Amino acid sequence: MTVLGVGIDVVDVARFEASLTRTPSLRDKLFTANEAVLPVESLAARFAAKEALAKALGAPGDLEWHDAEVVRLPSGQPTMELRGTCLRRATELGGTSWHLSLSHDGGIATAILILS
């Protein structure tokens, strides 16, 4: 496996929840309809995953939040479905797969993404 990009992000869950409360439209801006209904800890982890993806892709400024969606495989393992701007950038880099790990505990949500 050739690693083309790595991204990691950490989100303070309480601070993220305060942002969602202060700016209610933020939930719809950042998350797909399937993601938006999840509890705040899961949303924070998904936001961290999207930030980690952006870093793995070289942080281009034209990525759309809805073009990356965290989903679970039948095994329960998280992965990302990429489309539009995110899939285009991954393809430009030669990426054909990505590996995602999420965690949230003690008020912190984290995500690591490896693009290969």
Q: Domain extents for the chain?
A: 5-115
Give the three-class secondary structure for 31. coil
C-beta atoms surrounding 96 within 10 Å: 10
> In terms of Cα–Cα distance, which of 27, 9, 29 is closest to 17?
27
Helices (H), the chain: 13-22, 25-30, 33-36, 40-56, 84-92
Identify the CATH class of 5-115: alpha beta
Q: What is the pLDDT along the chain (116 residues), one digit of tens a residue?
A: 899 999 999 999 999 999 999 999 999 999 999 999 999 999 999 999 999 999 999 988 889 999 999 999 999 999 999 999 999 999 999 999 999 999 999 999 999 999 99
The whole-angstrom separation of Cα 66 and Cα 32 is 6
Q: What pTM value is reported for the model?
A: 0.95
Cβ 31 vs Cβ 46: under 8 Å: yes
